[in-house]
Amino acid sequence: MPYDALVLVSFGGPERPEDVIPFLENVTRGRGVPPERLAAVAEHYYHFGGVSPINQQCRELLAAIEGDFAANGLDLPVYWGNRNWDPMLTDTVATMKADGVQHALAFVTSAYGGFSSCRQYQDDIAKARAAVGPDAPVIEKLRHFADHPGFVEPHADAVRAALGTLDPARRATTRLVFTAHSIPTGMAVTAGPPPVTPPGRYVAQLRETAALVAAAAAPDLPWDLVWQSRSGPPQVPWLEPDVNDHLAALADTGVTGVVVSPIGFVSDHLEVIWDLDNEAAATAKSRNLDFVRAATPGTDPRFVAMVRELVLERVEDTETQRRLGSLPFWDTCPADCCTPPARRPS
Ligand SMILES: CC1=C(CCC(=O)O)c2cc3nc(cc4[nH]c(cc5[nH]c(cc1n2)c(C)c5CCC(=O)O)c(CCC(=O)O)c4C)C(CCC(=O)O)=C3C
Ligand SMILES: [Fe+2]
């Protein structure tokens, strides 16, 4: 085993009301997010007592990975560090160094390519290593897992279960609506190694995952891929349609119910429990649409086992790679992949 640790790398979130604003400042520094948007998002966090669920979800995933490694004889310590809030990745990498870790793998809680979901995490790792100094452990990010059965199957089961709660008599007018975080269109068209094939790797992978989940869960139903949680100033174009606009448009065409599946995410963090369970659900209600939100993988044992499989496929030969899709994929992103967006003053 050429690796001596795994580090779980995630987004991070506040766990006390007084941490909400400093957290949001970390997320949006230099990114041109308007102050009104920040104030509105702060309210979403205050609605839940200033506690984002994401850190607790990471603790649970960490414990589940440790349990899975132990049960399968994989002797690899597991660490956890975030981009935006405690435990910050730089502190984690310092601890790893102090513990003698030399060559770690990183599992990032995002399945897809693109700047925010892949390149920025690699930049976070590089910055943390630079801050820790020349003896910092080498850290290699594991591959995109958008089409891994350990990710697709839990999403598909969740869609099936959600559908099961809707009136079967209305199935013919029910629709699957897959969502992911909207990103600026300029970021979408630079997602992937240049020359980027339109629509860019983020959108292409999401479309493929949506198709895989739909085919496994409900091949008879039509589906759409739409976007949620738009941020940024109104004059900057982001991926559209927004899920709320889309639900309203569906209601106008005679659709009676929707299953909303957030395939862009691995756990029920704030953008799921607020933007979907609250906002999108209210939009559906106002249009008389039956609405049910499908669960995210969380600590589904297949998702947890996937992390071990991703580690082992790195060590063993590539024949062991399990995947359901057909987009090109690789272990190591080229250095010029998913170039950073121009920084804007905040
Ligand atoms: C692609 C993508 C993912 C999926 C990949 C991944 O999982 O990493 C994701 C996840 C998340 N985004 C999150 C939270 C936020 N994202 C923001 C802002 C932004 N997200 C962006 C993109 C993404 N975001 C972008 C392009 C921006 C604009 C600013 C910038 O260019 O960076 C803001 C600022 C306020 C606002 O919403 O405007 C917040 C608070 C949380 C934590 C939720 C919790 O606390 O439970 C999670 C998991
Ligand atoms: Fe975000």
Tens-place pLDDT, residues 139-159: 999 999 999 999 999 999 999
* Banded model confidence at residue 32, pLDDT cuts 50, 70, 90: confident
Tens-place pLDDT, residues 78-87: 999 999 999 9
What mean pLDDT is reported for the chain?
A: 96
Q: For residue 339, tell me if it sits in a domain.
A: no
Q: For residue 335, tell me if it sits in a domain.
A: no
Residues 187, 71 within the same domain: no
Of all ligands present, the nearest one to the C-alpha of 108 is 1
What is the Rg, in whole angstroms, of the alpha carbon atoms belonging to the chain?
A: 20
**Ligand 2 center to 200 CA (angstroms):** 18
Mutate to test the pocket of ligand 1, among 15, 26, 27 (most ligand atoms within 8 A of CB): 27
* Banded model confidence at residue 346, pLDDT cuts 50, 70, 90: very low
Residues 180, 225 within the same domain: yes
Which domain, by its residues, includes 262? 149-293
Average pLDDT over residues 94-120: 98
Looking at residue 205, its amino acid is Q
Contact, 207 vs 239, CB < 8 A? no
Of all ligands present, the nearest one to the C-alpha of 272 is 1
- Residue bearing the CA closest to ligand 1, atom 16: 27
Residues 126, 78 within the same domain: yes
d(CA 241, CA 250): 12
Q: What is the domain-level CATH number for residue 75? A: 3.40.50.1400
- Which atom of ligand 1 sits closest to the CA of residue 341? 31
Mutate to test the pocket of ligand 1, among 43, 181, 225, 273 (most ligand atoms within 8 A of CB): 181
d(CA 252, CA 290): 14
Give yes or no for a cis peptide into 53 (omega within 30° of 0): no
Q: For residue 330, tell me if it sits in a domain.
A: no
Residues 56, 172 within the same domain: no
Tens-place pLDDT, residues 256-302: 999 999 999 999 999 999 999 999 999 999 999 999 999 999 999 99
Q: For residue 329, tell me if it sits in a domain.
A: no
| Ligand 1 site residues, Cβ closer than 6 angstroms | 11, 13, 24, 27-28, 31, 33, 37, 41, 52-54, 109-110, 116-117, 181, 183, 229, 231-232, 264, 269-271
Determine the pLDDT at residue 187. 96
Residues 176, 207 within the same domain: yes
Q: For residue 94, tell me if it sits in a domain.
A: yes
- List, as residue ranges, the binding site for Fe-coproporphyrin III: 52, 121
- Closest alpha carbon to 343 in 169, 170, 184: 184
**Ligand 2 center to 181 CA (angstroms):** 7
Average pLDDT over residues 113-126: 98
- Closest alpha carbon to 217 in 265, 152, 169, 302: 152
Residues 88, 218 within the same domain: no
* Banded model confidence at residue 4, pLDDT cuts 50, 70, 90: very high
- Closest alpha carbon to 328 in 150, 141, 196: 196
- Residue bearing the CA closest to ligand 1, atom 7: 110
Q: How many domains does the chain have?
A: 2
- List, as residue ranges, the binding site: 52, 121, 181, 271
Residue 66: both structure tokens together: 């440790």
Residue 87: both structure tokens together: 């435990």
d(CA 119, CA 289): 38
**Ligand 1 center to 57 CA (angstroms):** 16
Residues 30, 155 within the same domain: no
CB burial string 206-222: b at 16+ within 10 A, e below: bbbbbbbbbebbbeebe
pLDDT at 75 over 70: yes
Of all ligands present, the nearest one to the C-alpha of 41 is 1
Give yes or no for a cis peptide into 134 (omega within 30° of 0): no
Residues 305, 239 within the same domain: no
More confident residue, 318 or 19: 19
Lowest mean pLDDT, pick from 25-29, 132-136, 261-265, 313-317: 313-317
Q: For residue 241, tell me if it sits in a domain.
A: yes
* Banded model confidence at residue 341, pLDDT cuts 50, 70, 90: confident
Q: For residue 247, tell me if it sits in a domain.
A: yes
- List, as residue ranges, the binding site for Fe(2+): 181, 271
**Ligand 1 center to 173 CA (angstroms):** 32
Residues 172, 308 within the same domain: no
Residues 308, 287 within the same domain: no
- Which atom of ligand 1 sits closest to the CA of residue 229? 37
Q: For residue 262, tell me if it sits in a domain.
A: yes
Residues 175, 259 within the same domain: yes
Tens-place pLDDT, residues 161-218: 999 999 999 999 999 999 999 999 999 999 999 999 999 999 999 999 999 999 999 9
Residues 139, 190 within the same domain: no
Contact, 312 vs 72, CB < 8 A? no
